Structure 1
Amino acid sequence: MNKLSILGGILSTFILTASFPAFSQQGKDNNQKDFSEFLDRKGNSYRSASGKPGEAYWQNAADYQIEVALDEANHTLSGKVTITYTNNSPEALDFIWLQLEQNRFTPDSRGTLTTPIQGNRYNGDTDGGYAISQVAAKVGVKGAVSSKHLIDDTRMQVWFAEPIPAKGGKATVSMNFSFKVPQKGMDRMGRLKVKDGWIYAFAQWYPKVAVFDEIEGWNVEPYLGAGEFYLEYGNFDYKVTVPYNHIVVGSGKLMNPTEVLSKELQSRYAKAAQSDQTVYLVSPEEIKNTQLTRPKQNGTVTWHFRIQNARDIAFATSHSFIWDAARINLPSGKTALAQSVYPLESNGQDAWSRSTEYSKASIEYYSKQWYEFPYETASNVAAEINGMEYPGLNFCHYNSKGESLWGVTDHEFGHNWFPMIVGTNERRYAWMDEGFNSFINHYSSNAFNNGEYASDLNQTRRFNGYFTSESREGIDNYPDVTDTRNLGMVAYIKPAIGLIMLREYILGPERFDNAFRSYIKTWAYKHPQPTDFFNHMENVAGENLSWFWKGWFYGNGNIDLGISSIQPYGGNYVINLINKGTIPMPVLMEVTFEDGSKERIKLPVEIWQRGDSWSHLFKTSKKITAVEIDPDKVIPDIDLGNDHWPVEIYK
């Protein structure tokens, strides 16, 4: 296609004459299609065009009361859940849908039957699943009780004797449940045998309500593997009964420390809550010393936790834990507690003995940079899980050390912002939590301990092998259908690189940070869609970015900016540029002069609306010796040979 542009926007078309060199000129064809809207992002009463919840925005809520007990001999967890559901929607509901994610661990679950023969990261045991009984559902306080329900794979439908009224109607659902704790829980939960006993990592452990929203109605995608979670917010009050010698850490605040901790341990707990240095609650030498650390020496004990305005909870329990903690200092002046539990195998200053230091630093950085951490505790648990996140609690691999342990700890705690605070739909849009989190991890790693584990994610061109691969996939792919070999790039790396480009190359840090902070604050404890993010970033930053969302987040093309030639002209220079890629970009150039000095110039992305070539008149009295596009190498330009003049081998 013949696409020509005018001379650098400096000279008007009506004075072009034959005496001019053959600079690129504007032709009748253009690239406006690359800049046009590609999604329906018009506002409505539920979600505004400025990317904010509209005046009619609503979301439902679910509060949970749970009591469970661990049978360590049989590796089972059993108990009762009571859910108080609030229907804030504008329609009455005859039923609700729940997620029963433990049903993934059965031989005929959809997740099992869609796992490749050779297996993948999301392999899981198949001898588990829920036993559900005593289902009781009623509307209001005096409503008739219904036991009608249907269980299909990882979903459960519960019917009421009468509809839950719209706009604030309440209902309760209760049931007993039990399941065998899988040893291999899809790299998200399970149990690990260590020298001193078992470590139990409990997640996806209770029946939970699915999201009902104005986008899909009931969000009932089954739990298959790569797709994670989409959950309503609410308050949780839960009690866990375990053998007397166990330690339990869970999402939220420990409500009964005097009942489960010895006086010595209570004293250490209080000391840790006031210390910026890590304090042992249970040292390596004290793992088995229950006389010192436990108030009981037989039977069972019940640990009681609460967390407010959360979308999920998880906990861990073992009698094999080393336990340490320190204070987290928050920008408002509030404090929280960073704590780590890990077995003797994980001990050491090159390993988990620094976990609490890492946890504290991570939470403090994100709280200062983006939005304050809202929960009372931040717990890091060593388990046979490569890394998984829940509100205020992580599971990280017990063999992780050094940079690896920092990386997984920081990543999983970063998830408290995406998707725990900003409640996106992980089943569909993995990039809105994994990608955003990988982006904030980049800056947190650079900030930690003067760059002890500095990130190189901004070295984007090292990923060009993937970006030019025939097997590459788009960011907008659902995680469960993405090739697991590509999932790291699709969900984590490519969207994170997109945000790095947006911050460092397109908008600049100040405009980006204003918009990103505003997005987090605006959608905290709510359910944004991709269009809400796009609209909000554009409105706060003051930039139409349709070309960028379309090209990078909803396309599979690449960036290839180049310098075709540089010509002297009237004592100045004309820099002739070309866009050989499918994603337009602003053009940042660094000009080097004969005297060794340098100057940077930035041309707006709109130069590519007019065609695939552009000529810029660069006025200078100095002699140019070199020109380079993207001197900091922020953008993953796939052709390393045409972004420099004179042409030189990319170093």
Structure 2
Amino acid sequence: MKKVFTALLITCTVTGVTVAQDIHNNPGSNHGNKFEQLGTILPTPNEQRTASGAPGAKYWQQRADYDIKCSLDEKKLELSGAETVTYYNNSPDPLDYIWLQLDENQHNNLNNANYQTSTTMPKVAGSAQLEKAEINTTDNGYGDKILSITDALGKNLPYIINKTMMRIDLPAALKPGQHMVFNIKWTYKISDRLTLGGRGGYEFFPADGNYLFTMTQWYPRLCVYSDFQGWQNHQFTGRGEFALTFGNFKVQMTVPADHVVGGTGECINYASVLTPSQLARYTQAKTSKVPVEIVTLAEAQKAEANPSKTTKTYVFQANNVRDFAWTSSRKFIWDGMGQDIDGKNVMCMSYYGKEAYGLYRKYSTRLIAHTIKTYSHFTFPYPYPVAQSVEASNGMEYPMICFNNGRTEKDGTYSESTKNGMIGVIIHEVGHNFFPMIVNSDERQWSWMDEGLNSFVEYLTEELWDNKFPSKKGAAYTQVDYMKLPKNELEPIMTNSEDIVRFGPNAYTKPATGLNILRETIMGRELFDYAFKEYARRWEFKHPTPADFFRTMEDASGENLDWFWRGWFYGTDPVDISLDSVKVAKADINGDIPAQFGRRPAANKVAAPIVNNYEDISKVRNREDKTIQFYVDKDTSVRDFYWKYDRGLAATDSSKFRDMTLAKTTANAAPEPFTDEEKAKFANKYFYELNFSNKGGLVMPIIVQFTYVDGTKQIDRIPAQIWRLNENHVSKFYVQDKEVASILIDPFRETADIDETNNYWGKLPEPSKFQVFKQKVGAGTARGQSSGVNPMQVSNGSGK
């Protein structure tokens, strides 16, 4: 990441000000820059990675297998473990040492990555904030405590811990084609996730005195050694996620006997840890088309009230995965159902406390099934045997298991934003099974290859759940507020994850928006979908880089997209295409037509149902596609109060024209008079010249909508290449059969144009009034939980 970024934005200091050097080949011209090929910006193709974007004939990657035994001490809030790792050197390089990640050190006050940011003295501060500002040299007790590291014969191996990374020095180089076995024993104090933050830890429920454990990044795990980077041992700061090595896992977890455990892979000893009735329900759920409660609400509440003092051990097996995570609690209700994926039954399962029952019982497992089916359609068939969602007031992903949010009020009601947030996060986190758990990009370097690609397919999946779902990622107009920020507050998408100021828009929504613009506006669905699927297929269970993605999308579609990657991914220019003027003419009729500009009236309604405030092009095309059936229409059981709540269901003044002289011409010849027949053909035509300017800097297709005096409309889509000979100003001449009342560019708001006031010509409707009120800011709640009185409560008579 940093190497690529530096190559693009070489900096030099002039009178104390840092400026970006323009490396374009033709910087003094108004053309030849934005359509310049990426050229040497991308790495040189080689035998590992081809110029087509596919893995090369000599592509290789490492492998690490784990055999782990661990014990959860609920009273002491500690985890202890021992792992045997078998590491395979498939590279052409001899290795003198290996690197492992110690992510739990993030919570240690001495051994964390120590990436600091600027701080100022607050006017008001709480004790926790003040404690963070103290210089504390006393170890707070968190983080991995390494007890021993030995080789296969039990001999100690030397190692060194550098913050969140650990290097093991080998007694002899591990040569190409060899493998080695080593053992690690470790322990750590489990953190309160809601207090200290982070992805793993525990949540305590004071109402019933129980814990919910999310055991993530919990064991020392191999870093990636790759052909394009060597060791990926960048420190873990808590933001940039992971680069991990594929392998097979066998994990034994000893927990309190009344705990329910879910984890990566399949449990291979359910017969010894479940009751006979629970085992029977599990077997029933495998082939059920609706979720079956394996552990019931009544059983979970009974366990909450009478904690066990004994233990039991779950054993899980997971093959060809890059990581392993698990969850454990006596609070869990557990349900599941089967989903057919390309002829293979995938077990979809959810774990949740009574606090989430009203939402998760109805939606979670169905959303899992919908997600893996939809992602499989756009990429490759989901290859794993299970997919799981855990309600943990959280949002994080691991192979075959993820942690999400979505709790109801105590009366069982919920707000529409809570429901929609839950739907979005479950789809997003389950979708991460594809990106990056299987298409295994380096999240530590390129967050967008993980979050951005996944957010894009999440958007496609939300759109196919319900045509009215208010997606927050993918539709171009949702990105406008970010892209109109001052340039000094923006970074290119290609920026390293630790250096991004606005991580959400940059790593999630801007890449997702860009891909949707490619699909809907630039390439078209057929070309895009084929190329995107080809990328996923090529790099399934491998380690792709950005160049592999860019090259594959072009290679499989036949589209030259360097201009798009350059502008959208490597630059910060926004889209602002202005319709500067319109010239109008009609044969034998004199006069000018005035140009009128204005803003489309807002369509906001206070306290209205939460639906998209603008209908994006994807929704329109999905409705028009008769092969698409939305999930809420196939399975009406998911229709709730808010599904019903969301479905409550110009001519202009005459103008004068200036005349336009018509003449019949041939190439390189003088004009000659029209015949009477030709005069009749053109006498009643209307002629328009539209003049555009590129005010934002980012070239983009121009979508023009004509509204005629008779009320009909027509769309013309001008490809981005119209800008190739003049990147600042272009014009387009039209001959129309009917008089145009108004012209609107980007009518579906599909290009992320940041200024719509310069997108209109003609007569516009007067802006309507809408109610404005002062909104009271409520107290914070757990992530994904409703706040205040919601319409569902009012409908039930419980609201005030």
- TM-score when normalising by structure 1: 0.88
Equivalence for 1:33? 33
Give the Cα separation in 1 of the matches to 2:260 and 2:187: 21
Match of 1:347 among 345, 350, 357: 357
**Residues 1:389 and 2:391 are matched in the alignment:** no
DSSP 3-state at the match of 1:515? helix
DSSP 3-state at the match of 1:614? strand
Contact kept, 8 Å, 2:147 with 2:187, in 1: the verdict is no
Q: How does 1:437-452 map to 2 (within 5 A)?
A: 437-448=454-465, 450-451=466-467
**Residues 1:410 and 2:420 are matched in the alignment:** no
Alignment RMSD: 2.5
Q: 1:148 to 1:41 in 2, by over 3 A?
A: closer
Match of 2:377 among 350, 358, 368: 368
Q: 1:647 to 1:426 in 2, by over 3 A?
A: farther
Shift, 1:86, TM fit: 0.9
Contact kept, 8 Å, 1:87 with 1:165, in 2: the verdict is yes
Contact kept, 8 Å, 2:700 with 2:751, in 1: the verdict is no
**Residues 1:645 and 2:659 are matched in the alignment:** no
Contact kept, 8 Å, 1:196 with 1:319, in 2: the verdict is no
Equivalence for 1:20? none
Q: 1:370 to 1:113 in 2, by over 3 A?
A: closer
Contact kept, 8 Å, 2:62 with 2:89, in 1: the verdict is yes
The one-letter amino acid of 2:150's match is A
Contact kept, 8 Å, 1:137 with 1:158, in 2: the verdict is no
DSSP 3-state at the match of 1:228? coil
Shift, 1:342, TM fit: 1.4
Equivalence for 2:366? 357
**Residues 1:472 and 2:490 are matched in the alignment:** yes
Match of 1:631 among 706, 731, 747: 747
The one-letter amino acid of 1:402's match is K
Equivalence for 1:493? 509
Bigger Rg over Cα:
2
DSSP 3-state at the match of 1:436? helix
DSSP 3-state at the match of 1:49? coil
Equivalence for 1:226? 239
Q: 1:211 to 1:383 in 2, by over 3 A?
A: same
Equivalence for 1:309? 320
Equivalence for 2:437? 420
Equivalent pairs counted in the alignment come to: 607
DSSP 3-state at the match of 1:69? strand
Shift, 1:461, TM fit: 3.0
What does the per-residue CA deviation read over 1:605-630, in whole Å, with 9 as the maximum and x for residues that have no partner?
22212112222232333323332222
**Residues 1:573 and 2:688 are matched in the alignment:** yes
Give the Cα separation in 2 of the matches to 1:539 and 1:146: 50
DSSP 3-state at the match of 1:600? strand
Equivalence for 1:206? 219
**Residues 1:619 and 2:619 are matched in the alignment:** no
DSSP 3-state at the match of 1:269? helix
Equivalence for 2:144? 130
- TM-score when normalising by structure 2: 0.72
Q: 1:51 to 1:445 in 2, by over 3 A?
A: same
What does the per-residue CA deviation read over 1:297-340, in whole Å, with 9 as the maximum and x for residues that have no partner?
8632111111111111100011121111111221x111111111
**Residues 1:156 and 2:272 are matched in the alignment:** no
Contact kept, 8 Å, 2:427 with 2:458, in 1: the verdict is yes
Contact kept, 8 Å, 2:82 with 2:185, in 1: the verdict is yes
Contact kept, 8 Å, 1:443 with 1:455, in 2: the verdict is no
Equivalence for 1:266? 279
Match of 2:719 among 604, 611, 623: 604
Higher relative contact order (CA 8 A, sep 6+): 1
Shift, 1:126, TM fit: 5.0
Shift, 1:57, TM fit: 1.3
Q: 1:112 to 1:320 in 2, by over 3 A?
A: farther
DSSP 3-state at the match of 1:199? strand
Q: How does 1:578-593 map to 2 (within 5 A)?
A: 578-593=693-708
DSSP 3-state at the match of 2:371? helix
Give the Cα separation in 1 of the matches to 2:48 and 2:164: 30
Shift, 1:564, TM fit: 2.3
Q: 1:638 to 1:126 in 2, by over 3 A?
A: farther
DSSP 3-state at the match of 1:641? helix
The one-letter amino acid of 1:594's match is V
Contact kept, 8 Å, 1:547 with 1:583, in 2: the verdict is no
Q: How does 1:30-429 map to 2 (within 5 A)?
A: 30-38=30-38, 39-111=41-113, 114=116, 127-137=141-151, 145=155, 147-166=157-176, 168-184=177-193, 186-194=197-205, 195=208, 197-287=210-300, 289=302, 299-330=310-341, 332-348=342-358, 350-385=359-394, 387-397=395-405, 399=407, 401-429=418-446
Shift, 1:112, TM fit: 5.2
Give the Cα separation in 1 of the matches to 2:737 and 2:117: 66
Shift, 1:538, TM fit: 0.9
Contact kept, 8 Å, 2:148 with 2:156, in 1: the verdict is no
Give the Cα separation in 2 of the matches to 1:113 and 1:616: 52
Give the Cα separation in 1 of the matches to 2:118 and 2:384: 39
Q: 1:257 to 1:640 in 2, by over 3 A?
A: same
What does the per-residue CA deviation read over 1:99-118, in whole Å, with 9 as the maximum and x for residues that have no partner?
11111111123445626668
Contact kept, 8 Å, 1:252 with 1:377, in 2: the verdict is yes
* Structure 1 range deviating more: 281-290 or 456-465: 456-465
Q: 1:452 to 1:544 in 2, by over 3 A?
A: closer
What does the per-residue CA deviation read over 1:554-587, in whole Å, with 9 as the maximum and x for residues that have no partner?
1111111122222235453332222222111122
**Residues 1:532 and 2:551 are matched in the alignment:** no
Shift, 1:406, TM fit: 1.0
Q: How does 1:7-22 map to 2 (within 5 A)?
A: none
Contact kept, 8 Å, 1:191 with 1:384, in 2: the verdict is no
DSSP 3-state at the match of 2:495? coil
Q: 1:107 to 1:352 in 2, by over 3 A?
A: farther
Shift, 1:369, TM fit: 3.2
What does the per-residue CA deviation read over 1:112-131, in whole Å, with 9 as the maximum and x for residues that have no partner?
562666899xx9x9531111
Contact kept, 8 Å, 2:89 with 2:174, in 1: the verdict is yes
Give the Cα separation in 1 of the matches to 2:578 and 2:468: 36
The one-letter amino acid of 2:275's match is S
The one-letter amino acid of 1:423's match is N
- Identity between Structure 1 and Structure 2 (%): 34
The one-letter amino acid of 1:444's match is T
Contact kept, 8 Å, 2:240 with 2:444, in 1: the verdict is yes
Shift, 1:205, TM fit: 0.5
Shift, 1:458, TM fit: 5.0
The one-letter amino acid of 2:73's match is D
Equivalence for 2:17? none
Match of 2:710 among 575, 592, 595: 595
Equivalence for 1:517? 533
Q: 1:359 to 1:132 in 2, by over 3 A?
A: same
What does the per-residue CA deviation read over 1:472-502, in whole Å, with 9 as the maximum and x for residues that have no partner?
333222222222xx11111111111111111
* Structure 1 range deviating more: 565-574 or 635-644: 565-574
The one-letter amino acid of 1:66's match is I
Q: 1:186 to 1:425 in 2, by over 3 A?
A: farther
Q: Which has the higher strand share?
A: 1
The one-letter amino acid of 2:147's match is S
Give the Cα separation in 1 of the matches to 2:420 and 2:577: 35
Give the Cα separation in 1 of the matches to 2:432 and 2:482: 25
